[in-house]
Amino acid sequence: MSKPVYDRTHHEKKAKGVGDPQCFAGQGGTPKFKVGDRVRIKDTPDLFYTRCQVYARGAEGVVTELVYESPPAEDEAWDNTENVEWFYSVVFAQKELWPEYSGTFGNDTLETEFSERWLESA
């Protein structure tokens, strides 16, 4: 068997002088959600790799920011940068995530990021 040939420079060519994820700006299409939208985290398959935390599945939160455009972690983890998505910052009430969370701290929140594929309107 011969050795596979990897292009070791394709990402460097794309990001040089621009930075990552800035080099993917404008490739994510029209964002499906806007700041203030109420969203639910989808519980779709995540075999082999994801960065969508399991504790957030099915929980509802509010979009606070459209953070950047980037290939989703599930693709980029195999160096596939063909499909770029919007990333969103979403804030949850801690009580929404943890049923036993103390009412004494009822206003506590947790904010974290998801790529667009993990969100649906709530």
Partner 1 sequence: MSETRDRVHRHLDTVGLMQPALHHQTHAPYPDAIDHTLFKAYTRSPHDVGGEADVPIVYEEKEEEVWELNTFVLCECLAWRGVWNAEERRRRQNVDLGQTQYLGLPYYGRWLLTAARILVDKQFVSLTELNDKIAEVKKRYE
Dist. CA 25–CA 22, nearest whole Å: 5
Q: Which of 105, 34, 108 is nearest to 64 (CA)?
A: 34
Task: Indicate the residue among 4 and 36 with the shorter CB distance to partner 1.
Answer: 4
Q: Which residues bind partner 1 (CB under 8 A)?
A: 3-4, 6-12, 46-50, 53-55, 73, 76-79, 97-98
* Shortest reach from residue 33's CB to partner 1, in Å: 23
Dist. CA 22–CA 90, nearest whole Å: 21
* Shortest reach from residue 20's CB to partner 1, in Å: 8
* Shortest reach from residue 122's CB to partner 1, in Å: 20
